[in-house]
Structure 1
Amino acid sequence: MRIGYKASAEQFGARELLEFSVEAEHRGLDMIAVSDHFQPWRHHGGHAPNALTWLGALGGATRHAVLATSVLTPTLRYHPSIVAQAFGTLGALNPGRVVLGIGSGEAMNETPATGAEFPGPKERRLRLAESITLMRRLWTEERVDFEGTYYRTEKATVYDRPDQPVPIYVAASGPLAAKLAGRVGDGFICTSGKDPELYRTLLANVAEGATAAGRDPGALRRMIEIKVSYDRDIEQARTNCHWWAALALTSEQKTGVEDPLEMERLADANVDRAHTRFIVSDDPGDVIERIGSYLDLGFTDLVLHGPGGDQHRFLEQFTADVLPGLRARAALARAAAAVGSPA
């Protein structure tokens, strides 16, 4: 079980984000996961540092935390061979503590950077699967000639790479992407705050995809970003969610939106719903039990996304008030899983 920190690159600049992440490791968190956005959810006050550059700085500033993207899209504004080179370097610099979390992309990150049309869901999944095949070949072979549907290489070699290929976790919010994660990923990523039945379905599809590919579903990591606004002041906990109102928009509202100004407008029009995607509480026991429901579902990596502008406050309060009990709750979930009974 790993408990990590979500470095909110959409909300904070690169230096400030690095400071928060170093503090997260110092306070006992096991993983730092950063998003890789070309544009943030909000135009005014938003940020979008490049994750590849930033992770290099984070690796030098930390000692043991796992460094991950949650998530990066290796298919549109990046060619997968460039991602393979970048993560080969990161893995060589930080052996055993780099994870490449990938997803099929969002229009607001891909279209403005290139001007290219944003593909439909099927093409994005096919691109993702092909990119995984190519990146793994580049991490394990030399002089790679690759002729795919979407990508080509000619005598390509990644010269600096770790002894073991970097694990790839695949993000999924629907059944077909979850099957892809099980079929070809080393792990699966999703986000909290939705109907519990959805997670049961997604995890079942991950297992189905793994089994169909002759793989052991139990060997895959299952990572979830837990959106949690904990504060000893409950009103502060609620207010902290407002910056992230875009997360509470429906998929229909967000799909195809390419402009941070428009996303900001939609979010501000729905700010009263901002808290609905978060665990909002001033009670440590309540937070532990609500996060515990994800442990009971079988998730192995919990990445905590605190929405407030004062991340020092969040980290200090959460690690003091909640983290010890959460680790104890995780131990109970592991014990229950070991004997095959509910936690």
Structure 2
Amino acid sequence: MTRFGYTLMTEQNGPKDLVRNAVAAERSGFDFQVCSDHFSPWLSAQGHAPHAWTTLGAVANATETTELMTYVTCPTMRYHPAIVAQQAATLQILAEGRFTLGLGSGENLNEHVVGQGWPTIGRRQDMLREAIQIIRELFTGDLVDWQGDYFQVDSARLWDLPDTPVAIATAVSGDRSVEVFAPLSDHLIAVEPKADVVDGWHEARRGTGLAADSRVIGQIPICWDRDRDVAVDRAHDQFRWFAGGWAVNADLPTTAGFAGATQFVRPEDTAESIPCGPDLDAIVKAVSAYWEAGFTDIALVQVGGDHQDSFFEEAAAPLLDKLRAAAP
């Protein structure tokens, strides 16, 4: 059955509120929760960017059953892959087997802060491939020495390993990334409901003899509110960057850059790409594009840090009922 998740948006809430939201999401019946991993919000109106891994440690302690995932961590610049491996192993122990490590090639917005520039997409994917190989080696618990094209690891070992191995999900967007990462990953992450990407992923895994039970994990923003006009204005204020698409968003370096790139996006443009308002059936229709494309797991983003409580109190449970009734 299709599984539905909640997004802990570090860009729109501080760490204490994120932990509180995670508890509410578990109580509301979400199957899993994903957490963004940013150094900056996309737009200053969002207003937050706490450390994802510290927050997830607290979430793991505050929740009991909901699965957790980074969505996504870039293990190549802001974090060295050896550090990501250690963080993931520790979090899996704290979460008692509920954690999946979601990885991606990153965004300039977050990774440029360490002063190493911003590589081309081909180089970023090559760096990610090598990083995943290092993380896999460290997950064995063996002593690892590595001298690669991009990273060096000297006499590293993870001393605290979880009983449940950490699964790796990797974000892909096209044929090249599917070809590179399908053999290295357990699960697929994609930000658009493209059936050809999903089909290509499964075909690539079958071609290398890997198991066919790979999960396909997507994400969709919604802006539920009792007043549709209020929802549209809020989505435009905080999420108009969403209309830019991955190819543009990955390369913009600052919140000012995102503000400039989206200055001509109108509220009605935002409402065309994000379901806004109280109509739960409209949200279900938007989400259905993902399960129709073959996604097994779909995480919702409720836009607006100050509007999570009303979402949980009034919309979350009936929305989940409608989604589960409609999904395969």
Pick the TM interval, shorter chain: over 0.9
2:6 alignment counterpart? 5
Structure 2 CA distance, aligned partners of 1:151 and 1:214? 29
Q: Kindly tell me: are residues 60 and 212 of structure 1, through their superposed partners in 2, closer, same or farther at Cα, counting changes over 3 Å?
A: same
Given that residues 2 and 300 in structure 1 are in contact (C-alpha distance below 8 angstroms), is that contact kept between their aligned partners in structure 2?
yes
2:262 alignment counterpart? 267
Structure 1 CA distance, aligned partners of 2:28 and 2:249? 35
Q: Kindly tell me: are residues 244 and 289 of structure 1, through their superposed partners in 2, closer, same or farther at Cα, counting changes over 3 Å?
A: closer
Alignment of 1:69-84 (within 5 A): 69-84=70-85
Q: Kindly tell me: are residues 320 and 40 of structure 1, through their superposed partners in 2, closer, same or farther at Cα, counting changes over 3 Å?
A: same
1:141 alignment counterpart? 141
Alignment of 1:290-301 (within 5 A): 290-301=286-297
Post-superposition Cα deviations, 1:309-342, rounded to whole Å, max 9, x if no partner, equal 4111122333233211211223xx1xxxxxxxxx
Secondary structure at the counterpart of residue 215 of structure 1: coil
Alignment of 1:78-227 (within 5 A): 78-111=79-112, 113-192=113-192, 199-216=194-211, 218-227=212-221
Please tell me whether residue 257 in structure 1 is matched to residue 252 in structure 2: yes
1:26 alignment counterpart? 27
2:320 alignment counterpart? 323
Given that residues 182 and 205 in structure 1 are in contact (C-alpha distance below 8 angstroms), is that contact kept between their aligned partners in structure 2?
no
Secondary structure at the counterpart of residue 183 of structure 1: coil
Structure 2 CA distance, aligned partners of 1:295 and 1:257? 30
Structure 2 CA distance, aligned partners of 1:252 and 1:212? 28
> 1:149 offset after TM fit, Å?
1.5
Unaligned runs of 5+ in 2: none
AA paired with 1:152?
A: Q
Unaligned runs of 5+ in 1: 334-343
1:339 alignment counterpart? none
> 1:135 offset after TM fit, Å?
0.6
TM-score after normalising by structure 1: 0.89
Structure 1 CA distance, aligned partners of 2:92 and 2:114? 28
Given that residues 169 and 181 in structure 1 are in contact (C-alpha distance below 8 angstroms), is that contact kept between their aligned partners in structure 2?
no
Structure 1 CA distance, aligned partners of 2:325 and 2:45? 40
> 1:276 offset after TM fit, Å?
3.2
Secondary structure at the counterpart of residue 122 of structure 1: helix
> 1:299 offset after TM fit, Å?
1.1
Structure 2 CA distance, aligned partners of 1:85 and 1:253? 32
Given that residues 39 and 47 in structure 1 are in contact (C-alpha distance below 8 angstroms), is that contact kept between their aligned partners in structure 2?
yes
AA paired with 1:37?
A: H
> 1:240 offset after TM fit, Å?
2.8
Post-superposition Cα deviations, 1:239-296, rounded to whole Å, max 9, x if no partner, equal 2312111111245654532121221233343243322331335322332233223222
Q: Kindly tell me: are residues 283 and 43 of structure 1, through their superposed partners in 2, closer, same or farther at Cα, counting changes over 3 Å?
A: closer
Structure 2 CA distance, aligned partners of 1:317 and 1:95? 31
Structure 1 CA distance, aligned partners of 2:16 and 2:174? 35
Given that residues 13 and 49 in structure 1 are in contact (C-alpha distance below 8 angstroms), is that contact kept between their aligned partners in structure 2?
yes
Structure 2 CA distance, aligned partners of 1:141 and 1:19? 34
> 1:228 offset after TM fit, Å?
1.9
- Tell me which moved more, 271-280 or 116-125: 271-280
AA paired with 2:222?
A: V
1:337 alignment counterpart? none
Given that residues 141 and 161 in structure 2 are in contact (C-alpha distance below 8 angstroms), is that contact kept between their aligned partners in structure 1?
no
